[in-house]
Amino acid sequence: MTSNKDHTKLDAELKNSLAVLQDIPTRDEKRALHGRSQFLTEARTLKQSVTPAAERRPNRWMENIQTRLPFRKEGVPMFTQIISALLILITLAGGAGAGTVYAAQSSMPADVLYPVKTWSENARLGLATSPEKDIDLLLEFANRRIEEMLVLAEEGAAVPEPLMTRLQTHLDLALQLCDQLQDSQQTRQQIRQTMMTQQKLIDKAPQEAQLLQTRDMLQQRIHQIDQTPLLDPAQDQDQLQQQDRDRLRTDQPEDAGNPEANGYQEEQNSGGPNPNLDAPGQQSGGQAPQRTKTPMPGQSGQQQGPGGPDSSKGPGN
Amino acid sequence: MNPTEPDLLRRVHQLETRALAEVYDQYSPGVFRYAMRLLGDAALAEDCVSETFSRLLQALHKGKGPQDHLQAYLYRIAHNWITDQYRRQPPPPLELDERLTADEDTDPLETAIQNQRQERVRQALKRLPKTQRQVIVLRYLEGWNVQEVAASLKRSVGAVKAMQHRATSTLRKFLAIEEKEE
């Protein structure tokens, strides 16, 4: 029987032998990005094919009623069928159909079918039912634009201006929609991650002027995201403002003799904590105030205008 | 490797795009590494990642899929795919890529020797029974502990330890044979 000591020795020897497999080449980011995009597209397709109406299927009494009604048991699939039938009719009538749209998906900006591709993307955006879905689509389309740019750059062709504008629009729209979300932190990071990956891909591509311009644009937006304060979802804007109001109320008697001594205002102006703002019971200049959110550089405090902290971030920036 | 967050798993089972993107970003690099080590071919490793995540989607679509350890589940799929790949065909010969350029810092002889060593270990691993190979790779190359491997294989910790013992002995023999053959 092998003793523990022998076993350890055997493990160490084997570990050394297997160590040659530890070093593996870096993954090709373009392929990885493409794989990710394919995976998410497949997920969306599968999700759409799931019938969400299981609970809507008729039970006994509903069946009796529904069979007497002119409607079918599952409204949504029926509606889909009608839409499909209409689409087929349009396809047959128009001569350009789903096949064309499908074929257009791999087209490049200079191709005849490229407008069909962008049109189908706009149509998909128009059909999205929530800002989250819109953002996912916009990021997917932004990745497509980057892939197109990289292919063009590799072929030595110029990247057309509209392609760059379209990429910029996708990203700005995604950021705008993200600002409207209740809990935008995760989405914002998702957008940031996408832009980081895109930037890395561009770094590896031939150094074309348009690509460098695109990289700068991405860098600018990443910087904007980094500069935007991230709110703790558990402690939202209202809570923070309420805390400030409470604190001011508590501090009021101490500052009553000095009408100028508005600690909150002073903190805003100086950008640092004011000893007068210490929580009740604390000595002035003692421990740090209990504010959990420190304004980011360039931000003046918790009170924000109608635009909020993100108002500096707009499509034009 | 901790059990996957229940909330994330729930969202994954609902095929929520954002949750799936999170899962892909978190686990696809690891699956790629794993496949790359066993296959030694980047294109095949990418195929493995793609197929693994596609099979995950298919399982989720049928209402199946992982109930607790998502990572273990993915590695299991990847391992099965790699084993099938082993059965299907011998590894393709390395092709010369015209984009490859000589790196001044790398000695070509050293690279060739390193490639040969890697291939020798891969061949030895390939000769192991499927589960034993999985134990060895997860334990020694991926750095998983016995409990994690047990969760991945759906076996008891004792069974994994026994399997590891058998696998290490066999692999050592194989490596010695490979060395002698050279």
Interatomic CA distance for residues B68 and B4, integer angstroms: 6
Is A9 near chain B, with CB under 8 Å? no
The count of structural domains within chain A is 2
* Res A78: pLDDT: 62
Interatomic CA distance for residues A24 and A32, integer angstroms: 15
Pick the residue from chain A with its C-alpha nearest to B165. A7
Which CATH number does the domain B108-182 belong to among 3.40.50.850, 1.10.1060.10, 1.10.10.10, 1.10.645.10?
A: 1.10.10.10
Q: With 80 as the cut, is the pLDDT of residue A258 above it?
A: no
Q: Are residues A157 and A221 in the same domain?
A: yes
Is A36 near chain B, with CB under 8 Å? yes
Q: With 50 as the cut, is the pLDDT of residue B51 above it?
A: yes
With respect to residue A220, please indicate whether it lies within any of the assigned structural domains: yes
Can you say how many angstroms the Cα of residue B157 is from the centroid of all Cα atoms in its chain?
Answer: 20
Mean pLDDT, residues B125-140: 88
Q: Shortest CB distance from A43 goes to which of B20, B121, B141?
A: B20
10 Å CB burial of residue A120 (0-12, 13-18, 19+) is middle
* Res A291: pLDDT: 37
CATH 1.10.1740.10 fits B1-91, yes or no: yes
Distance set, CA A50 to CA B14, B60, B121, B129, B143 (Å): 10, 11, 45, 39, 38
Residue A233 contacts residue A185 (beta carbons within 8 Å): yes
With respect to residue A215, please indicate whether it lies within any of the assigned structural domains: yes
Tell me the pLDDT tens digit for each residue of B60-93: 988 888 888 888 899 999 999 998 888 776 655 5
Structural domain that includes position A210: 128-229
Q: Which of A54-58, B5-9, B37-41 has the lowest mean pLDDT?
A: A54-58
With respect to residue A253, please indicate whether it lies within any of the assigned structural domains: no
Is B24 near chain A, with CB under 8 Å? yes
* Res A69: pLDDT: 60
* Res A248: pLDDT: 61
Domain ranges across chain B = 1-91, 108-182
**Quick one: which H or E segment has residue A197?**
helix A185-204
Q: How many other C-beta atoms are found inside a 10 Å radius of the C-beta of residue A211?
A: 21
Is A190 near chain B, with CB under 8 Å? yes
Is A44 near chain B, with CB under 8 Å? yes
Tell me the pLDDT tens digit for each residue of A150-174: 888 777 777 888 888 899 999 999 9
With respect to residue A182, please indicate whether it lies within any of the assigned structural domains: yes
Q: Shortest CB distance from A31 goes to which of B24, B46, B118?
A: B46
- Record the tokens describing residue A206, joined without a space: 């031939």
Side chain identity at residue B134, one-letter code: Q
With respect to residue A149, please indicate whether it lies within any of the assigned structural domains: yes
Chain B residues in contact with A133 (beta carbon < 8 A): 17
Q: Which of A69-83, A135-149, A253-267, B83-97 has the lowest mean pLDDT?
A: A253-267
Determine whether the interchain pair B42/A10 forms a contact, defined as Cβ–Cβ distance below 8 Å: no
Interatomic CA distance for residues A102 and A187, integer angstroms: 29
Determine whether the interchain pair B141/A21 forms a contact, defined as Cβ–Cβ distance below 8 Å: yes
Last residue of a domain, one of A180, A201, A229: A229
CA distance B178 to chain A (A): 12
pLDDT band at A289 (very low <50, low <70, confident <90, very high): very low
Q: How many other C-beta atoms are found inside a 10 Å radius of the C-beta of residue A34?
A: 15
Q: With 80 as the cut, is the pLDDT of residue A267 above it?
A: no
pLDDT band at A317 (very low <50, low <70, confident <90, very high): very low
Is B117 near chain A, with CB under 8 Å? yes
Q: Shortest CB distance from B121 goes to which of A20, A23, A36?
A: A20
Q: Are residues A104 and A188 in the same domain?
A: no
Interatomic CA distance for residues B40 and A22, integer angstroms: 11
With respect to residue A65, please indicate whether it lies within any of the assigned structural domains: no
Radius of gyration of chain B (CA): 18
Last residue of a domain, one of A188, A206, A229: A229
Which stretches does DSSP call E strand in chain A?
none
* Res A309: pLDDT: 38
Nearest Cα residue to B68 out of B150, B174, B165: B150
Distance set, CA B51 to CA A68, B46, B79, B120 (Å): 48, 9, 11, 26
pLDDT band at A139 (very low <50, low <70, confident <90, very high): very high
Most confident residue range from A146-150, A208-212, B102-106: A146-150
Interatomic CA distance for residues B82 and B36, integer angstroms: 10
Q: Are residues A102 and A144 in the same domain?
A: no
Side chain identity at residue A294, one-letter code: T
With respect to residue A103, please indicate whether it lies within any of the assigned structural domains: yes
With respect to residue A161, please indicate whether it lies within any of the assigned structural domains: yes
Q: Are residues A133 and A108 in the same domain?
A: no
Report the complex ipTM. Answer: 0.78
